[in-house]
Amino acid sequence: MVETIGGHLTRFKVSMTRELPPPVRAFLDAAYPLSLLNALLSLDDGTPFAYCLHQARNTGTGAEVVVRVIYPSAAPDSMIQSHCEHLAIEFRSCIRNAAAATR
């Protein structure tokens, strides 16, 4: 994949994983029992740089979704803020596309 992360084009690999390191696994929320994505993000040379943990739960009117990207503690705030904006746009687009497909 190629995405803008922290204002820089970044090429990386997304690897689905069932085994999460304990510090990353601690971010999972049992109140959201549906796992949408547990993935390791790594650079071309294999260096891991983040984990994605996306979870959901059913509600009476649909679903609630929590999307998390776990970066190292040294990641600058600008990287985290820009990726929050990216995820908001990405998920909004997915929801709009799904709604249009059901019409």
- pLDDT tens digits for the chain (103 residues)? 888 877 788 899 999 988 899 999 999 999 999 999 899 999 999 999 899 999 999 999 988 999 999 999 998 888 888 888 888 888 889 889 988 998 7
Element at 12 (helix H, strand E)? strand 8-16
Phi first, then psi, for residue 98 (nearest 5°) are -65, -40
d(CA 85, CA 7): 12
Cα gap 64→47, rounded to integer Å: 32
**Pair 94, 65: CB distance under 8 Å:** no
**Are 67 and 57 within 8 A, CB to CB?**
no
